[in-house]
Structure 1
Amino acid sequence: MIYMKKYLLSALALIVPFLTFAQEVVEKGMDEKFNDAFKPISDAWGSFVFYPIKFSENLGMPIVIIMLLLAGLTFSILFKLVNVRRFPVSINIVRGKYDDVDHHEVEPKSMVNVVDGDIVDTIAVEGQEGEVSHFQALTAALSGTVGLGNIAGVAIAISLGGPGATFWMILAGLLGMSSKFVECTLGVKYRDIGEDGTVFGGPMYYLKKGLADVGKGTLGKVLAVIFAVMCIGGSFGGGNMFQANQAAQQFNTMIGANSTAAGVVFGIVMAITVGVVIIGGIKRIGSITEKVVPFMVGIYFLAAIVILVSHFSLIGDAFGQIFDGAFNAKGITGGVLGVLIIGFQRAAFSNEAGVGSAAIAHSAVKTNYPASEGLVALLEPFIDTVVVCTMTALVIIITNGDGSIMEYGVKAPDGVLATSKAFASVLPWFPYVLTLAVVLFALSTMLSWSYYGLQSWMFLFGRSKASDYSYKILFCIFIVIGSAVSLGAVTDFSDAMIFAMAVPNIIGCFILFPKVKEELSKYLKAIGVQKSK
């Protein structure tokens, strides 16, 4: 009897908190209850990662964003404007001009520079087959960055900083091209190739193996683990739930079915779609993204072109507003510096150059020359920020001549809605196209981030089938959750995790940039662009 009473008391002690929680959920709602519980953690983590350097009482920039920009500027200088000078080479690589050279063996396998059982200088040869083409790797990585940042992020940047913010977004995108080149070259150089030909790569590997290669093995292991943990968190949040949530909201608003049940149904459909694709790994992801990414960017680009052509006489004035606003930002909080900060921050959120995520996708490419894929990767920020974001900005600026879309200097409460209004002012049917674009953007982003998270998950927990499927099942479950609830603090926490990835990644890139120089020189000589000395 005594034991029975203890059992009942113990059971009651466990049940009471759940009953209390259930009562609060009924009274406040699941979304509000969850966000209230999670907000203190999210706020603390976000304040830590995005701790700002203050330029004035009301003006500051997060240190992590400054790191990303300085990395892009430094690598542009160290590699003599590789983002500009080697741009034609990058285009030719994607076109397949150097495929014959790219698949020739480049190093003898008798090298003795061994790290973790791999001959570092011949690791590309070990995996010369790879898993995806240059174009597939590019689209897989692009699908992780081209998305809501190009639609909502640009509108928010312009609403806060006026047309001038566009100029600084473009400049940040150009600098980010050099960062992408460095991290993706390293991703291929230090990748692992499984016995079945599966590629395992990304910052986790070049931090661990690359830093060991230069005598900093302990530091490398610590940084690799930090990166992997942050990447997993980012994949479940910003790379999954946030994407599913925004797509569900846009779709359900369009069909007039704004309810939790509708969100669950939408989430289940998306989860099944994503699940079918990611089970096939990077090969299937690459085969899907090489079709979806050009299609969705093409639709969006075509709509923008139609609007710009119909307002052709206003394009010159729009560029005039962009340049004037960049250096003469009257009426904008913080003036020119404020506009610069806003533009730089939105570009960093849009293209993720320096964060290290893209290096995971690019590491799976079929190549023997790591620098070849680094050169392909530098096209990402150009397409994402310089092209797509600029097109969005021009449409907003041109259609906002009467101030009907937004008031400059006042943050737009809903970036997607502002962009939709701008396009719909000329193309009344565009909201339907935007809905399709948002869903496709979200789908492609989830596909890429599922791969990023899986690679990090298997780096930490091993490459077994159980590890593989456990992550993929969790990822699909989070799609349904993200579609059905309002995220709030969860997305803030996840954004901080994604940008926390940049810290270990940039440290590793700075230490290993001499290795990248060697690889670039080797590749340029192989394709005849640079003569041997």
Structure 2
Amino acid sequence: MEGFFDGATTVADFLWGGTWGTVVDPETGEDIPNRIMPVGIIVIALLGTGLYFMIMLGFRPLLRLFPAFGELWGGRKATGEGEITPWNALSTALSGQVGTGNLAGVATAITLGGPGAIFWMWVTALFGMAAAYAESSLAVRFREKHPDGHFHGGPMYYIKNGLGKGWGWLAILFCLGTILSAIATGGAIQANSVTQSAVEAGTSLGLNIPNWAVGLVLAALVFIVIIGGIKSIGNVAGKIIPFMALAYILAALYVLLTHADHIPGAFAQIFEHAFGLREAAGGLAGYGVLAAIRAGVARGLFSNEAGQGSAPIAHAAAQTKNPVKQGEIAMLGVFLDTIVICTMTALVILVVEGAYPSAGGVVSYAWQSADLEASAITTAAYSEGMIGGAWVVLAAQALFAFTTIIGWSYYAEQSITYLTGDWAAKPFRYLWVGVAFAGTLVTNVDGLWRFGDIANATMLLPNVVALLLLSGVVFVMTRRFDKTGELPPNFHGDTWGTEPPPGTVENKD
């Protein structure tokens, strides 16, 4: 198993960081990354696609940010055909986005790439808002309504109905990547992070909580929710997501207000390390700009999933007739996840000082400790920053990860039913409960995160190809809506035809 994770680390570093293995530094004699490319191909694909849509859409995600919040509020009620309200569609998407990436992922980004990684998480999110708008508007436009009355959509369907039969292989590739990503990042990593927080919190009370006990409780709760399908998932997410996000933000604000004098220094560290103005002090030395970019973009994508193709699967189920409005609601998920919640976590980690053990010594910040990793860093920072901080993180981690697990169960289910048929939905839900339990037993956390990076890449690349090929559809839809305020029901491709694509919601035949 260790050999597998070592191999995963090598491949992940190439995809995201442009390195392959290590070489010996002739000056220091130490092993250093063997750089093949300035940055990884996934970084180029992700940021390049997001920048392209941001420019071609006239910076719409920024200009339409506040109106989109108004559309979200109005989306508490159905405005068209679908299975869940636009509000619950965003909540379901956020259930997949707001997870361990907001706690463990931020901490991992800082330890791997220094404080500067946070800046590149912001960049990823801003460009990602444009990608999220594009992919979710396409998901609504090219979704299908099957004979059983359920709606199905997402990248595999806009590849099928937007690009045509000749691109079926790309849809299959996306589905396989989604299943792999769901198991690794949507299931195992989430469950593992819950376990870390539970064990850490239990230790602070003198309790020895076994991993399998956490797994049993988690698996039972997941089963109760997902067995009812998307309507059950949407209802639960619609109630939990707003509450847990607000509660976590308030807790973070308390810590930041009590450490307000350290906040300017935290921002200074982020910008200095983002552009290599000085090396990070303590922890893993010598980050550099490329390390910050690699960690920030990888963890940013893991957190907000923009351009990855997961969130549009949820938005395709929205009760709406307007792809443009749902796309604008979708981009709010990226903003709330990364610009708001991830930033809160990062600042807490960077401002709270303490005496943290590290390889026989003591360091000033939790992220600098060699004895702590992933969510344990966030837990340690909160424990030092407020009374009962460990339990705050445990509660947030449990809720964040739990909602991510149920959200990703739907993404994987949609991919499996696309490949095999609708009959596979219920059997898969039982298998997903086993994935949640198994994730609590993994011991190589860093290797699991790196495997998750590979899984995300296998899902992202087919979606990026589809987004670029269908970009003209996005631009025409957007311009038409801005000009007339409506979209004709027979819109497809780059033109206004008389027949919609076969299988879409307007053409059941």
Q: Aligned residue for 1:398? A: 351
- Cα distance change on mapping 1:518 and 1:148 into 2, 3 Å: same
SS at match of 1:356: coil
- Cα distance change on mapping 1:51 and 1:312 into 2, 3 Å: closer
Task: Work out the CA distance in 2 between the residues paired with 1:518 and 1:285.
Answer: 33
CA contact (8 A) 2:184 2:452 kept: yes
Q: Aligned residue for 2:175? A: 228
Q: Aligned residue for 1:429? A: 388
What count of residue pairs does the alignment treat as equivalent?
459
Does residue 1:419 correspond to 2:397, yes or no? Answer: no
Among 265, 268, 277, the alignment partner of 2:225 is 277
- Cα distance change on mapping 1:170 and 1:516 into 2, 3 Å: same
Give matches, 1:87-106, under 5 Å.
87-96=65-74, 103=79
Q: Aligned residue for 2:299? A: 346
Task: Work out the CA distance in 2 between the residues paired with 1:470 and 1:228.
Answer: 17
Does residue 1:518 correspond to 2:503, yes or no? Answer: no
Larger Rg over CA atoms: 1
Task: Work out the CA distance in 1 between the residues paired with 2:307 and 2:107.
Answer: 23
CA contact (8 A) 2:133 2:327 kept: yes
Among 250, 253, 261, the alignment partner of 2:197 is 250
Task: Work out the CA distance in 2 between the residues paired with 1:36 and 1:394.
Answer: 33
Deviation at 1:431, TM superposition (A): 0.1
1:120-150 per-residue CA deviation (whole Å, 9 max, x = no partner) reads xxxxxxxx32011121111111111112111
Q: Aligned residue for 2:433? A: 476
Deviation at 1:474, TM superposition (A): 0.8
Higher helix share goes to which structure? 1
Task: Work out the CA distance in 1 between the residues paired with 2:312 and 2:298.
Answer: 21
Deviation at 1:399, TM superposition (A): 1.6
Unaligned residue ranges in structure 1 (runs of 5+): 1-34, 104-127, 529-533
SS at match of 1:342: helix
Amino acid of the structure 1 residue aligned with 2:18: P
Q: Aligned residue for 1:201? A: 153
Among 84, 89, 106, the alignment partner of 2:62 is 84
CA contact (8 A) 2:174 2:459 kept: yes
Task: Work out the CA distance in 2 between the residues paired with 1:364 and 1:162.
Answer: 39
CA contact (8 A) 2:86 2:326 kept: yes
1:189-231 per-residue CA deviation (whole Å, 9 max, x = no partner) reads 111112343111111111111101xxxx31x201000011111
CA contact (8 A) 1:193 1:200 kept: yes
1:429-488 per-residue CA deviation (whole Å, 9 max, x = no partner) reads 110111111111111000110000000000001012xx1122111111222222234365
Give matches, 1:39-118, under 5 Å.
39=5, 42=8, 46=12, 49-50=15-16, 52=18, 57=34, 60-96=38-74, 103=79
Task: Work out the CA distance in 2 between the residues paired with 1:91 and 1:390.
Answer: 20
Amino acid of the structure 2 residue aligned with 1:375: E
Give matches, 1:285-296, under 5 Å.
285-296=233-244
**Where has structure 1 moved over 6 Å in runs of 4 or more?**
53-56
Q: Aligned residue for 1:460? A: 419
Give matches, 1:274-423, under 5 Å.
274-332=222-280, 333=286, 335-400=288-353, 404-406=364-366, 413-423=372-382
- Cα distance change on mapping 1:264 and 1:419 into 2, 3 Å: closer
More displaced stretch, 133-142 vs 414-423:
414-423
More displaced stretch, 284-293 vs 337-346:
337-346
- Cα distance change on mapping 1:240 and 1:160 into 2, 3 Å: closer
Task: Work out the CA distance in 2 between the residues paired with 1:159 and 1:51.
Answer: 15
Task: Work out the CA distance in 2 between the residues paired with 1:411 and 1:141.
Answer: 34
Q: Aligned residue for 1:190? A: 142
CA contact (8 A) 1:42 1:492 kept: yes
- Cα distance change on mapping 1:242 and 1:469 into 2, 3 Å: same
Deviation at 1:295, TM superposition (A): 1.9
CA contact (8 A) 1:159 1:411 kept: no
CA contact (8 A) 1:249 1:258 kept: no
Task: Work out the CA distance in 1 between the residues paired with 2:269 and 2:435.
Answer: 42
Task: Work out the CA distance in 2 between the residues paired with 1:86 and 1:379.
Answer: 10
Structure 1 length as normaliser, TM-score? Answer: 0.79
SS at match of 2:394: helix
More displaced stretch, 76-85 vs 188-197:
188-197
Amino acid of the structure 2 residue aligned with 1:272: A
- Cα distance change on mapping 1:372 and 1:53 into 2, 3 Å: farther
CA contact (8 A) 2:146 2:152 kept: yes
- Cα distance change on mapping 1:265 and 1:426 into 2, 3 Å: closer
- The percentage of aligned residue pairs carrying the same residue is 36
Deviation at 1:62, TM superposition (A): 2.3
CA contact (8 A) 1:274 1:446 kept: yes
Task: Work out the CA distance in 1 between the residues paired with 2:33 and 2:236.
Answer: 47
Amino acid of the structure 2 residue aligned with 1:146: V
CA contact (8 A) 2:366 2:372 kept: no
Task: Work out the CA distance in 2 between the residues paired with 1:47 and 1:56.
Answer: 9
**Root-mean-square deviation over aligned CA pairs:** 2.9
Structure 2 length as normaliser, TM-score? Answer: 0.83
- Cα distance change on mapping 1:460 and 1:45 into 2, 3 Å: farther
Give matches, 1:171-186, under 5 Å.
171-186=123-138
- Cα distance change on mapping 1:233 and 1:197 into 2, 3 Å: same
- Cα distance change on mapping 1:500 and 1:48 into 2, 3 Å: farther
Deviation at 1:495, TM superposition (A): 3.6
Task: Work out the CA distance in 1 between the residues paired with 2:377 and 2:440.
Answer: 22
1:302-325 per-residue CA deviation (whole Å, 9 max, x = no partner) reads 111111222334333433333344
1:413-435 per-residue CA deviation (whole Å, 9 max, x = no partner) reads 41322222222222031101111
